[in-house]
Structure formats: structure tokens, C-alpha cells
């Protein structure tokens, strides 16, 4: 889908209302225990609630204070659950439209070549054959084995332009829920119901299939370890109070514990992971796991095919190089005449170049009784017979043979040969033009490097990512294009086994490798790569081998995928830094308040000038709660980033989220304390 079509507002009521209700179901300890920090917070909230109920019945002195602490602890847990529910809700909204595309699919089986009565698509089995005609929905994931048709895949990709699907080649894969617009095809089922591409897509965008990534698990373990350490720290506090012939209330100890543990990142950790997957989906990329997204953020080497990725894939005419004694206009005129019936990209580009350089317009050929000669693989040239002249264009050696056959010898100027050799060395393709046994010159065809690609590769280089171009061209041509595109290295005359060997070599050196592909011959390399991006238009083998699928079938999207992966890692790191940093400020709020009476010297640490011990504790707990929903938009949108060395990114992270995490709580807690004092809440 297009970015615009799929973009959903963070404050969409259609998402927020269900998320608010769903958050209550997530408060179940059976669900919450997967998040150690928030599970600990919930246990403390339950305990403080029990104390509040006891004081309420017994008429205790701290009833109002305990009630407020309990309320804000429950809000802390609920806000964390709400953050996860909002992240999931954005995916569920998209899943609803996908379900509509899947609903009520019917299939017409072929048995011994004869179509049967339509049945439910859910009854289909792998390797069964089905017939789909114009106007019908494709009932299952499969491979076209007969016919060619235009298919509307907007239900999956969001793009309205139809695509061609045909038997054989790398564009044979079809997806359940897409519609055939013309002709008819026979499809072999390749996926059982319940495990189709559409089913997996729904599960992924809903978050139902999401598993914690290795980095997320490691951070969860770290946060759980910190929480355990702070349990031990809080347990020792009563001993310090007893030493000074005093005591500390259980409510204050509970508040201290919640202030110590990193509840902010604990509450947002799951939402960050879900949002990372969601951002990929909004770029029309589906990842089979969060592990692949994280790996994209740590990629060291990026492998890209030349044709269609780095270059446009269509060779374009860029110059006319005439032979001695021939004007450039004369050469252009002959080349244009030979290309008028040539519908290839190369032929059309020659006509366009002649028009741009010499304002040569299309001409009426019918009165001339011109006879066009089509291109064949045997002759490797095409042209036209007109007014007694034989005009041909094609591969240099083919044109030389044609000229030699006409005049009994190859009388080709040395300048023409040198021009052809120079073009080949520069990575271009020389196309010779001849008229009536005379070589007129060379047309320079060039596989044009996509605009902005060199700059994007430079950005990747700043991030420490090495780019490698893979091409079937010879080494000379590959080197010229690699230099123009700005890639770091290239692999020329590459075969499938060469790609696989290169990936394994890089991985053996401890590097993470990303690549894309669409053909069956790419499947081994896609499976071997740490990040394998398969094209939606590719073969079923390629889509199964990769751990990501690009619905737009745009190989250059590897660059965006790497960016999203890095943004995910940076968002998690930045908010972890912020969470730990703002805990420091809460220590300055709660610890002086707890011990000011017992240890008067600690009053110097009350740098915020909080009005009372109870107000200080309550202000810290309120800030601890409300900072989570305030950071939800940042967690879902992701931290803004730009290509830069790791050292600069770390310095920026510490300055913004480290220093900001220290300053924000001081300001926030003080502001809350002023409000609490004004309302006499503590």
C-alpha cells in the first residue's frame, strides 16, 4: 500500500477507543508476567491497594495518601498496557481490511483438465490445480502454470496499477485475495489454507505472531536484573531508618521501589517492537519476524543487483558518435529511421535522443513503402529498407559482418573501432549504424544509474555499511558502473553459487549481510543472508526463502529497510537512556523526603524545594506514570535519525535523551508538587 493510504493518525479515535478497553484485559497477571518490570509494578500496586483498603476500613492516618499512590501505580500499569494496545491497534485496523479481501473465496478445481463446480477455497490442498478467469479472485497462494493475465493486487499492495502474471519465469507467483482482470490462468496451489501469505500478513500486522527479538529479550533480562537489585536495595532501607531510631512507611518503600526500577522503558518496550514491525508494513514490507528487523539495523554488508536496482535496467541512447566524414545529424537521421519500428527501450531512446538533439520528428513511412527488418537473436541487428537504401543498427561485430558481405570487405575507420572500445570500457554498449554498405558511426547506449543512488550509498557508508553490486556483466563494465554509482565493491559475471559463496565469506568474517532477489535461483542466497528481501512478484521459492517480502517489488527498498531497522534500535536505546536518566531525578525527590527528619543533612539533596515528604513522593509517582503516555507517540513514530558514525549517534543520544532524561523529571516533579500543594492533596 502507499504510505499515504496506510498511514494512520496516532490519535485516531477508531484506534484509541478499542485500545483503551483492550488495555484492561492486558492487566491480567497471566499476560503481564511477560514484562518483568510492569509485572513487579502491578504486584506493588495490588499490595498498596490492599493496604489502602485496610486503612480505609480501620481509619488509618495514611488512607488518602495510600489511595492516591495506589491509583497512580495502577495508572502506570494501565498506561503501559495502553501503549502496547495502541501499537497493536494500528495493525488490527489494517488486518480488518485484509480479512475482507480473504473472505468468501471460492475455487474452481481442475480434475483431469476439466473445471469442477466452485467450492470453498478453504478446502483446497497443496498441489491442486485451479482455474481463475477474468473478474474472479485468486483462491489461494500459488504459481501460474498455464496462461498469462493481468492481476489487481491492490488488496495486498495498495497499488491500483495491475501487474502481469504468467507461467514460467520469475513473475509466476500469485496471492490469495487478488483479482484477475483479464484472460484466464491455471494456478497450482503452493500453500495450505491458514498458512497463506494473506494469513501470515494478517497475523503479523495484528501482532499475534510477534515474538520477542533477541535484543528485546536481552534488555528484558537486564531490566529484570535491575529490578531484583532494587528489591534488595529497598529491603535495606528500614535498617538505615532503625539505626536512626526511626521508621519508614511501607507506602514510602513501595513508592521508592517503583521510582528506582526503569518503568518508562519497561512500559514502552513492547510497543517499540510492535511499532518497528508496523513501520515496515507501512513501507509495504512484511517481515516474518522482529529478528529480521533488528538484523537490518545491524547490517554490515548490502548486496544489490545492478539491473533494476542500481541502474534503471533499460539501456538509453546518450550520444551519437559519427564516423569521419559523416555529420552527427546524418548519423542521427539514419539511426532514427532504423528505430521507428523498434519498440524496445533502446530503440525508443534513440528516437527520443534524435528529437532532443536535432528536433527530428516522427515521419509518415507508409508512402515510402519502407520495409522494416525486425531484430533477431541470430542477426543481432534491425533496421529498414527504404528508397533503395539498407539501413541497419545493431551489435558492432554484426554490423561489420553485414557491411563486409555487401561490399566484399570491411572498410571500417579506426576511429569507429576506438569509439566502440572506449564505450565498452566505460560500461556502455556500442551500437553501430550502417547505410548501404557504409558504417556511419556509433550510438552510445548506457544503462543509466538511478538518480540519487550515489548519494544514498554515501549515507550508508557513513553508517559503516559496505555496498556490493552484483552483476552478470564482465569485470570491465562492472567496474565502470560501480564507480559511477559509488558502490564500495562489485561481483562481476556472478552466478547463483557465486552469490551464496560471497554471503558465506562475509558472514565467516562476523558480518551481517542483507540482499534481495526474486527468482528461484536467488532462493539459496536469500535463505543464507541475515536479511533476505524477496520480491512480491517473485517465485514462491524466493518468497519462502527470504525473511522479508517487499510488496512493491522494489529492490532499492533495502536501503529503507536498513533505515527502519536502525531507527528501531535507536528508539529502543534512546528511550532506555531516557528511562534510566529520569530515575536519577526521582531519587532526589523521594530519598530526601523519606529521610529528611531522620537525617537532616539530606535536606541539602532536596534541590527541587518540594513542599513536603508526602508531596515529594506522590509527585515522583505521578510523573513516573504520566511520562509513559507522553512518550507513546515517540515510541510508535520512532526516534528521528540520520546517517552518521556510531560515535556521533551515541553522543547525540546522550545529549538529547540522557541530559533530557535528567532535566525533564526535575521540571515535571516540581510542577506536579506545586499543583498538589495548591490542591492540598498531600
Residues tagged active-site: 305
Cβ contacts of 48-57, under 8 Å, gap ≥ 24 = 48/73, 48/251, 48/254, 49/74, 51/250, 51/251
- Classify 531 in phi/psi space as left (phi over 0), alpha (psi -120 to 50) or beta: beta
Q: Which of 149, 139, 154 is nearest to 171 (CA)?
A: 149
The Cα 348–Cα 410 span in angstroms is: 29
Determine the 3-state secondary structure of 539 from DSSP: coil
**SS3 (DSSP) at 372:** strand
Q: What is the rounded CA–CA span in Å between residue 137 and residue 179?
A: 4
Which cell goes with 441? 558511426
Contact 37, 262 (CB under 8 A): yes
> Residue 213's closest CA among 117, 315, 132, 293?
293
Q: Are 482 and 494 in contact (CB under 8 A)?
A: no
Q: Are 73 and 621 in contact (CB under 8 A)?
A: yes
Cα end-to-end distance, the chain, whole Å: 53
Please classify residue 496 by burial: count the beta carbons closer than 10 Å to its beta carbon, then call 0-12 exposed, 13-18 middle and 19+ buried: middle
42-63: buried (b, 16+ CB within 10 Å) or exposed (e) per residue? Answer: bbbbeebbebbeebeeeeeebb
Strand, coil or helix: 168:
coil
Residue 292, Cβ neighbours under 10 Å: how many?
24
Q: Three-class SS of residue 440? A: strand
141 SS3 class: coil
282 to each of 248, 309, 330, how far by Cα in Å?
51, 21, 52
Read off the C-alpha cell for 232. Answer: 534488595
Residues in the chain: 682
Q: Which residues contact 557 (CB under 8 A, 6 or more apart)?
A: 283, 284, 285, 516, 533, 550
SS3 content of the chain, % helix, strand, coil (to 5): 55, 15, 25
Q: Which helix (H) or strand (E) holds 446?
A: strand 438-449
Strand partners, 431: 395, 443
Amino acid at each position: 500500500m502507499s504510505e499515504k493510504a496506510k498511514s494512520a493518525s496516532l490519535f485516531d479515535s477508531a484506534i484509541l477507543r478499542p485500545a483503551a478497553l483492550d488495555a484492561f484485559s492486558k492487566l491480567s497477571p497471566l499476560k503481564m508476567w511477560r514484562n518483568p518490570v510492569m509485572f513487579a509494578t502491578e504486584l506493588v500496586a495490588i499490595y498498596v491497594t490492599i493496604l489502602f483498603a485496610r486503612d480505609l476500613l480501620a481509619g488509618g492516618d495514611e488512607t488518602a495518601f495510600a489511595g492516591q499512590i495506589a491509583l497512580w501505580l495502577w495508572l502506570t500499569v494501565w498506561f503501559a498496557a495502553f501503549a502496547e494496545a495502541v501499537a497493536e491497534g494500528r495493525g488490527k485496523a489494517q488486518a480488518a481490511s485484509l480479512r475482507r479481501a480473504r473472505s468468501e473465496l471460492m475455487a474452481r478445481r481442475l480434475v483431469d483438465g476439466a473445471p469442477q463446480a466452485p467450492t470453498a477455497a478453504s478446502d483446497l490442498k497443496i498441489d491442486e490445480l485451479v482455474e481463475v478467469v477474468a473478474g474472479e479472485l485468486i483462491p489461494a497462494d500459488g504459481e501460474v502454470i498455464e496462461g498469462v493475465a493481468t492481476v489487481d493486487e491492490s488488496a495486498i499492495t495498495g497499488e491500483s496499477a495491475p501487474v502481469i502474471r504468467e507461467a514460467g519465469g520469475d513473475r509466476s507467483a500469485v496471492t490469495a485475495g487478488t483479482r484477475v482482470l483479464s484472460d484466464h490462468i491455471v494456478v497450482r496451489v503452493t500453500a495450505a489454507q491458514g498458512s497463506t501469505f494473506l494469513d501470515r500478513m494478517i497475523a503479523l500486522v495484528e501482532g499475534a505472531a510477534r515474538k520477542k527479538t533477541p535484543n528485546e529479550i536481552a534488555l528484558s533480562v537486564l531490566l529484570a536484573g535491575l529490578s531484583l537489585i532494587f528489591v534488595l536495595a529497598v529491603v535495606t532501607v528500614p535498617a538505615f531508618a532503625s539505626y536512626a531510631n526511626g521508621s519508614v512507611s511501607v507506602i514510602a518503600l513501595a513508592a521508592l521501589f517503583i521510582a528506582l526500577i526503569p518503568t518508562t522503558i519497561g512500559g514502552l518496550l513492547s510497543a517499540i517492537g510492535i511499532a518497528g514491525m508496523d513501520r515496515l508494513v507501512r513501507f509495504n514490507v512484511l517481515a516474518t519476524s522482529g529478528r529480521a528487523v533488528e538484523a537490518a539495523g545491524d547490517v554490515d554488508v548490502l548486496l544489490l543487483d545492478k539491473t533494476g536496482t542500481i541502474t534503471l535496467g533499460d539501456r538509453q541512447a546518450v550520444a551519437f558518435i559519427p564516423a569521419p566524414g559523416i555529420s552527427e545529424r546524418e548519423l542521427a537521421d539514419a539511426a532514427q529511421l532504423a528505430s521507428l519500428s523498434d519498440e524496445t527501450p533502446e530503440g525508443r531512446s534513440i528516437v527520443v535522443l534524435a528529437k532532443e538533439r536535432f528536433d527530428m520528428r516522427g515521419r509518415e513511412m507508409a508512402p515510402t513503402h519502407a520495409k522494416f527488418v525486425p531484430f533477431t537473436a541470430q542477426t543481432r541487428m534491425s533496421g529498414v529498407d527504404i528508397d533503395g537504401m539498407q539501413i541497419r543498427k545493431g551489435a558492432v561485430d554484426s554490423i561489420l559482418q553485414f557491411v563486409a558481405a555487401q561490399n566484399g570487405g570491411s572498410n571500417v575507420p579506426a576511429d569507429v573501432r576506438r569509439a566502440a572500445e572506449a564505450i565498452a570500457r566505460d560500461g556502455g554498449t556500442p551500437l553501430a549504424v550502417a547505410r548501404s554498405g557504409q558504417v556511419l558511426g556509433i550510438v552510445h547506449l548506457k544503462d543509466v544509474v538511478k538518480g540519487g543512488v550515489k548519494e544514498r550509498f554515501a549515507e550508508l557508508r557513513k553508517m559503516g555499511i559496505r555496498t556490493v553490486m552484483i552483476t552478470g556483466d564482465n569485470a570491465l563494465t562492472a567496474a565502470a558502473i560501480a564507480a559511477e554509482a559509488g558502490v564500495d565493491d562489485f561481483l562481476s559475471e556472478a552466478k547463483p553459487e557465486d552469490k551464496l559463496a560471497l554471503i558465506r565469506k562475509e558472514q565467516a568474517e562476523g558480518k551481517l549481510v542483507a540482499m534481495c532477489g526474486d527468482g528461484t535461483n536467488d532462493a539459496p542466497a536469500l535463505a543464507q543472508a541475515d536479511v533476505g528481501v524477496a520480491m512480491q512478484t517473485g517465485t514462491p521459492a524466493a518468497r519462502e526463502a527470504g525473511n522479508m517480502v517487499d510488496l512493491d517489488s522494489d529492490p532499492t527498498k533495502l536501503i529503507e529497510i536498513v533505515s527502519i531497522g536502525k531507527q528501531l534500535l535507536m528508539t529502543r536505546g534512546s528511550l532506555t537512556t531516557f528511562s534510566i536518566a529520569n530515575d536519577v531525578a526521582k531519587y532526589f525527590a523521594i530519598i530526601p523526603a523519606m529521610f529528611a527528619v531522620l537525617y537532616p543533612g539530606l535536606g541539602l539533596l532536596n534541590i527541587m524545594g518540594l513542599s513536603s515528604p508526602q508531596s515529594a513522593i506522590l509527585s515522583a509517582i505521578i510523573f513516573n506514570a504520566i511520562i509513559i503516555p507522553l512518550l507513546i507517540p515517540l515510541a510508535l513514530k520512532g526516534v528521528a535519525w540520520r546517517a552518521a558514525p556510531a560515535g556521533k549517534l551515541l553522543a547525540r543520544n546522550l545529549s538529547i535523551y540522557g541530559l533530557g532524561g535528567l532535566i525533564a523529571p526535575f521540571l515535571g516533579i516540581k510542577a506536579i508538587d506545586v499543583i498538589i500543594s495548591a490542591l492540598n492533596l498531600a
